[in-house]
Structure 1
């Protein structure tokens, strides 16, 4: 009987079988909640092919972009070079269940940092929150519902308030900017479309 894949194996295989070039669009929630922030130091957990990090770098941020998959980081580095922002992004490989980037950041963002292979997600997000500098922002976007074509169907999805509570943050040390579900139109692998919910947490450290 073969053993279950590790997170690193799963994501290395995933990125080895997709196009090295993405659509170039940053995440909707990243744009919505950070476009008015003054640039500083940003940390992106799970950078994938790098569109969010490239968008931040173009706006003047100094970005640390983290992923578990070597192939994803290679694609993201190529993305940065194509957009002439390679000097503004530092790429680091981390299995966040084992190692973590260092430093303090004015923005820490994690968009759909979810995996079918368990990696201790809530512990990772709590560690991420600890890296937010005073006055900095934590932005976490997660799946709040499943598309009709998806086989990812936890039952039930955590509510936004439950997702915030799982971070175990000191309420006196954090200001709520937004905690809720936001609806968006998603497109499936075969061109299907449907409305889904994202669970979005935007918190500012006092």
Structure 2
């Protein structure tokens, strides 16, 4: 009888651990305005995306960008090799959202699991950016053009920010959005290809 009770307790423990693991690994967040690469993969606009098509919310990597964080060339995947398709520039052919530099723009995150937040930061590529090559820190302006501090608060499931992309920029560019988590060592990353006029 004791063996049966022990087996049941062990079974329940394993089930609980599995459920908790699945819940914590299953959801976080991504940008859908401007549309991110992971969103384009999830909605089927872009094919051959690998696992990211089922997990657009899971692009999580080390925080501390730009001094720390993912390695150059792996920024769009947050340094996560499971989602390396996001770092493939695809010959510069990722779909791009048309935006006007110097005009107010809406930036929106969809959070499938909400976390205590340090801030949201948005970086724009510089004049040296080549959309046919993987993104590196040298391709980005050194400072974000928009920072939204959160001071450890937990954001809503949909987060919208208003910001202005620097005037005078034109052509194919990329916005790297970084959601920094306050109570873990990680951040979430999203790359949105844009066409500026």
Structure ID, larger Rg: 2
TM-score (norm 1): 0.29
Task: Give the TM-score normalised by the residue count of structure 2.
Answer: 0.30
Q: Work out which structure has the larger RCO, using CA pairs closer than 8 Å and 6 or more positions apart in sequence.
A: 2
